Structure 1
Amino acid sequence: MLLRHVTVDCADPYRLASFWSGVTGWPLFDGDQPGDPEVLVVAPEPQPGLLFIRVPESKRVKNRIHLDWMPTERTRDEEVERILALGATLHEDHRKPDGLGWVTLLDPEGNEFCVERSAAERTA
């Protein structure tokens, strides 16, 4: 079995997909545009894409599942700053003085996700 998409319910699929496209560097599906009821962020194989679908209800409670991201081109702290500049909000900071830990951020619609240390930071 292959995981094809991770689907996120949201109020504005194009806006949220555009944010995640900026975070990941992955493109939007060709032809997706503002106002579409669903918008896909196309991931490189074999990773699943991120599919954003409009729903009428708003997010009310903590996510029961969230994504953990590990930077590949930057440190954890550089990646956190970059994502904050894209429109994320700091939710919980679990960084420790010894360099361990992670940061929990919120996307523009309040969905939690974490940024962990990069592979290079883990081996250092």
Structure 2
Amino acid sequence: MSSLIRHVTMDSADPYVLATFWAKVLGGSLADDDFPGDPEAVVTAAAATLLFVRNDERKTVKNRVHLDLQPQDRTRDEEVERLLSLGATLQGDHRRPDGSGWVTLLDPEGNEFCVERSAGELAARRRDR
């Protein structure tokens, strides 16, 4: 029998604040027993379960692992705008004229993540070929 991934765990200066951001991003929720100041916070969403744990060391280099997001009910561009309004910042725009590519954003603590084209955008591209 193989193992399952239970959580994707991220170090955080403030687990509750960062978990609140990611809960909004993923349309998920924090655990009922998570409160400001807690050393851990869990976000449960349809896409994944993320665990944020307090770590007082500041992030200084690029993540070795990052999340790639695929919007479900909006375009990539609409999702990027939504995430920016939630507190993400633009790190790099890798969109190409043909619609391929991705956008790299930073969460409120500087962790990189990418936004790819939605499934609908990919399907439309395949139909247009």
Alignment TM-score > 0.5, same fold: yes
In our comparison, the structure showing a higher alpha carbon Rg is 2
Do the aligned residues in 1 keep the contact of 2:41 with 2:52 (CA within 8 Å)? yes
Question: How many matched pairs?
Answer: 122
Q: After the TM superposition, list the runs of 4 or more consecutive aligned residues in structure 1 that deviate by more than 3 angstroms.
A: none
1:22 aligns with 24
Quote the residue 1:56 is aligned against.
Answer: 56
Q: What's the counterpart of residue 33 of structure 1? A: 35
Q: Which residue of 2 aligns with 1:72?
A: 72
Q: Secondary structure at the match of 1:113?
A: strand
Q: Indicate the residue corresponding to 1:3 in structure 2.
A: 5
Please report the TM-score for the alignment, with normalisation by the length of structure 1: 0.96
Query: Deviation per CA, 1:52-103, whole angstroms, max 9, x where unpaired?
Result: 0001101000001100010001100000000000000000000111111100
For the pair 1:99 / 2:99, whether they are aligned, the reply is yes
**Alpha-carbon shift at residue 25 of structure 1 (Å):** 0.6
8 A Cα contact 1:69 1:114, kept in partner = yes
1:42: how far off?
1.0
- Partner residue, 2:44: 42
| Runs (5+) with no aligned partner, structure 1 | none
The Cα of 1:48 is off from its aligned counterpart by: 3.6
What letter is aligned with 1:109? E
- How many angstroms apart in 2 are the aligned matches of 1:85 and 1:56? 27
Structure-2 separation of matches of 1:96 and 1:24: 25
Structure 2 stretches lacking a partner, 5+ long: 125-129
Partners of 1:102 and 1:9 in 2: CA distance: 25
